[in-house]
Structure 1
């Protein structure tokens, strides 16, 4: 298509107004048709970003002349809202976690393929120049067959999951109220560290390695007295016979840099990727080695490129989607299995590609 992308948005809270809406509003090739949300701040959001209309009714938003929808509602609402948009033939950007179950994740992936729409989950690290270069080295075959993978994440998010959610506004501020604790601190709504943070690190791992997928998961989580998981640890059997560990911790001190540490050992070489220490290296058994130069501060999390890439994909200006529905589904089924394993006392869970939900 050409011209402007006619965009609707469902969800008008802290993250949408601090990150996505300013990016879209600054683009001349985007028309902000309408915004859907709840609460007294909705009209102020409409005026601040120049949306054509505001409504508390999602069906009313979808009835507008739209090309695409951005979904930034509470986690447990993502799936149903994405299905409605996809079935109308709309392109969708869906915040992570995209869904809360493997069945729903793979169902979205199927619907996206069948409808031929653009689907993007805004995983910021997947679009960093140094991770893109790491992906190029992986795709060139320098790691070979994956035999062992370590995927760890830690972040200063204790307040978000077990305290005052407003603390995180020091990093991403907006003119609306802060994150709703009911979203982040309620298990049934997708609260907790696995859905809130391991979604990032696992999606990076699964984008880097296209064929990698969890097959068995044995996991334990710790709430440390909170309502949701703050610490997660899993032993994972991956496709192709690879073994791995996936872990996460919510209690880095405030002000600390986020940690994403991915180390993958293959038949041909090893990938080391560390966002905190800002290093990426590939070392092969034949002696070849690559070390990627990363500017100071570039390892910090940001989510500027994904919303821009979403528009560029719709307009045909890019074909590079680093966080597809397939990447999101593989991340979701891993996290789903981790939480189910822990709930069953650490029993090994066989991950299955179940039939899509209707």
Structure 2
């Protein structure tokens, strides 16, 4: 395959500020067509060199494509991904992959049946220091995990409150995030779907764990959607965990993602804000992984590039598979269900 023929479903803020520039700069990608709402999609076609633009998803998918990039509002990911997978196309689907666990696991099955790549672009899963941390865990350096802490906080109160000004400054985009995507409950707005999706997917990729039951609380604090989330988790295999999230860091502050894993043989701590990964074993061994300054900052350039490399065979490493994304989806769905039931513990999966 000399060039991967890519179609795009969605042409908004994140696609135009992150994914499309990556693909437009690659010689091994042909941007065949783009589907979006309104006349802005034709300006996107001209800006990035797509072959055609349309308002009709079926017209796009009927083109001669190898792969599809889906960046629609959260609640529209599933039908677009189903249509693409059923045509045998490789799929990059934005996070959260879906809003419902049954839909997420259905996409896992469809991708497996079609024998195609499905990648959900979680940027932190591709950082050199998180990849190195996973190697330590895969080598059994902390033994069997007994307790996991997973925390995230970000300067996103404006995004979830309907004021995307800070996001425009941070990502230098001419296209604004749609408030209906981020601050409407019916479209999956809120901190859990918008941000905890990152931290939980990182946890599940690093550890291979899966949540079994959760007791959680979400708080809107005057917003139409959740800005704060907290939960106690029981994992398959018996490990215990805690999860927390907060949208109200001050604009300009560094994102916080803090994962601490306590095992039978030691402890691993990963902190993107302070840019550190440390291993402390009970036999006295200590190790601190080297991290380049600024590497902890969030960016998502590697995942869309890796998607193409998987298709062409340049790489075989997908750090954010559909399975990882589905574990995040089912956790978040159960967290919000538990919160709606006054924090009662609920099962995450059968």
In the superposition, the TM-score normalised over structure 2's length comes to: 0.99
Q: Is the 8 A contact 1:166 1:179 kept in 2?
A: no
Q: Structure 1, residues 143-193: CA drift from partner, whole Å, max 9, x if none? A: 2111000000000000000141232111112233x0000010011111000
Q: Is the 8 A contact 2:162 2:182 kept in 1?
A: no
Q: Structure 1, residues 317-353: CA drift from partner, whole Å, max 9, x if none? A: 0000000000000011110100000011111101224
Partner of 1:196: 194
Partner of 2:229: 232
What's the secondary structure of 2:237's corresponding residue?
Answer: helix
- 1:190 and 1:143 map into 2 onto residues whose CA distance is 36
Partner of 1:339: 336
Q: Which runs of 4+ in 1 moved over 2 A?
A: 173-176
Partner of 1:158: 157
- 2:29 and 2:105 map into 1 onto residues whose CA distance is 29
What's the secondary structure of 2:171's corresponding residue?
Answer: coil
Q: CA deviation at 1:40?
A: 2.1
User: How do 1:105-254 and structure 2 match up within 5 A?
Assistant: 105-176=104-175, 178-210=176-208, 212-254=209-251
What's the secondary structure of 2:189's corresponding residue?
Answer: coil
Q: Is the 8 A contact 1:261 1:274 kept in 2?
A: yes
What's the secondary structure of 2:23's corresponding residue?
Answer: helix
Say what the alpha-carbon RMSD is for the aligned residues: 0.7
- 1:119 and 1:163 map into 2 onto residues whose CA distance is 31
Q: CA deviation at 1:269?
A: 1.1
Q: Structure 1, residues 90-111: CA drift from partner, whole Å, max 9, x if none? A: 0000000100011111111111
Structure 1 window deviating more from structure 2 (181-190 vs 161-170): it is: 161-170
What's the secondary structure of 2:110's corresponding residue?
Answer: helix
What's the secondary structure of 1:42's corresponding residue?
Answer: helix
Partner of 1:316: 313
Q: Structure 1, residues 265-288: CA drift from partner, whole Å, max 9, x if none? A: 011111100000000011111122
Q: CA deviation at 1:296?
A: 1.1
User: Number of residue pairs matched?
Assistant: 350
What's the secondary structure of 1:108's corresponding residue?
Answer: helix
Partner of 2:17: 18
1:47 matched to 2:43? The reply is: no
In the alignment, which of 279, 283, 286 is matched to residue 283 of structure 2?
A: 286
Partner of 2:254: 257
Q: Structure 1, residues 88-137: CA drift from partner, whole Å, max 9, x if none? A: 00000000010001111111111111111001000000000000000000
Consecutive unaligned residues of structure 1, counting only runs of 5 or more, are: 354-358
- 2:282 and 2:16 map into 1 onto residues whose CA distance is 48
1:295 matched to 2:292? The reply is: yes
1:92 matched to 2:91? The reply is: yes
- 1:271 and 1:137 map into 2 onto residues whose CA distance is 9
Consecutive unaligned residues of structure 2, counting only runs of 5 or more, are: none
Q: Is the 8 A contact 1:14 1:173 kept in 2?
A: no
Partner of 1:356: none
- 2:230 and 2:173 map into 1 onto residues whose CA distance is 33
- 1:266 and 1:101 map into 2 onto residues whose CA distance is 31
- 2:174 and 2:9 map into 1 onto residues whose CA distance is 17
- 2:14 and 2:347 map into 1 onto residues whose CA distance is 35
